């Protein structure tokens, strides 16, 4: 019985120690979430407006600057960018991104995988570790584990420029980004976004009697000069927005996961304390019975 009591006491100490860790991680993630949430909320309207403008320009412009990033491709040499966290203990946050990417890759690029023409870039350690073990005959060309933690716009610009240059050179003909879109601390959505070629805006169908209006942009300086600077800048901001979204989603998911873990530790402690009190009461009752039995034997 003493051994049983000692075992329960050790389990109680272990749960209390774990609960202290989960509480601390929750507080750290909550503090980081406020900063990350502010960053993505400030960036998202700006990025969305730029994307709409870029799609319209790519749809109605015939300049070389637009054609360089908007040309239709056969998707024979795709590049997949996976943005994930460097650390775990954030619930199903990473698993949801990997599940979406894994399914789409096998559904859309099975032939490219067999031919060895599917390439990957990883931003975040967890994505690199997951796909390195599960995809074969693919080019795991590089990982940017430190880039996710640093959250540095200048380094994102360098990566975006490299991807755009290789797209123009024909190294890749399709670039997709998989990331997590942040809604609030308890809700995140795994997303796939076509990065290159730039998707054109949908033009509504008209009848013969109706003429589709075409925007008449005035470019200053000349169209090709402006687009050669404007489109890459928008694409850089778009990739940075995906990183900020994933960063905020990670802290929201970890805060929620640690909060649930703390609650589960409370419930486990209550159960262990009840078991401990029962075992202790049984031990006391047994000792009293032995004392009474011994006294009765001496009296007899």
DSSP calls for 103-138: HHHHHHSHHHHHHT--EEEEESHHHHHHHHHH--S-
CA 262 to chain centre: 23
* Under 8 Å between Cβ of 258 and 264: no
Q: What is the pLDDT of residues 143-197, one digit of tens each?
A: 677 788 788 899 999 999 999 999 989 899 999 999 999 999 889 999 999 999 9
Q: How far apart are CA 26 and CA 83, in angstroms?
A: 22
Tell me the domain boundaries of the chain. 28-198+217-258
Q: What is the pLDDT of residues 195-218, one digit of tens each?
A: 999 877 665 444 444 455 666 667
Q: How far apart are CA 32 and CA 256, in angstroms?
A: 13
What is the CATH code of the structural domain delimited by 28-198+217-258? 3.40.1380.10
Q: Tell me which DSSP letter residue 91 carries.
A: T
In 3D, which of 259, 270, 254 has the Cα closest to residue 19? 259
């Amino acid at each position: 019985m003493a051994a049983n009591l000692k075992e329960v006491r050790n389990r109680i100490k272990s749960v209390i120690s774990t609960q202290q860790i989960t509480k601390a991680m929750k507080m750290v993630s909550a503090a980081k979430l406020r900063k990350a949430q502010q960053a993505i909320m400030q960036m998202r309207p700006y990025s969305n407006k730029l994307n709409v403008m870029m799609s319209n320009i790519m749809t109605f412009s015939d300049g070389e600057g637009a054609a360089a990033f908007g040309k239709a491709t056969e998707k024979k040499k795709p590049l997949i960018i996976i943005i994930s966290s460097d650390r775990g203990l954030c619930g199903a946050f990473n698993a949801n991104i990997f599940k979406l990417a894994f399914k789409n890759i096998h559904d859309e690029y099975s032939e490219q995988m067999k031919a060895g023409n599917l390439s990957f870039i990883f931003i975040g350690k967890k994505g690199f570790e997951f796909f390195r073990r599960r995809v074969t005959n693919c080019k795991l060309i590089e990982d940017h584990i430190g880039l996710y933690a640093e959250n540095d716009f200048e380094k994102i610009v360098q990566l975006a420029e490299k991807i755009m240059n290789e797209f123009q050179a024909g190294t890749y003909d399709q670039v997709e980004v998989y990331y997590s879109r942040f809604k609030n601390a308890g809700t995140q959505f795994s997303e796939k976004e076509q990065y290159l070629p730039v998707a054109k805006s949908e033009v509504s169908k008209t009848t013969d009697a109706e003429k589709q209006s075409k925007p008449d942009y005035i470019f200053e300086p000349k169209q090709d000069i402006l687009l050669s600077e404007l489109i890459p800048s928008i694409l850089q901001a778009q990739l940075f927005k995906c990183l900020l979204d994933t960063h905020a989603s990670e802290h929201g998911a970890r805060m929620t996961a640690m909060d649930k873990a703390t609650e589960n530790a409370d419930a486990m402690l209550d159960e262990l304390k009840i078991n401990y009190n029962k075992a202790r009461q049984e031990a006391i009752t047994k000792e009293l019975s032995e004392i009474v039995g011994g006294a009765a034997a001496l009296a007899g």
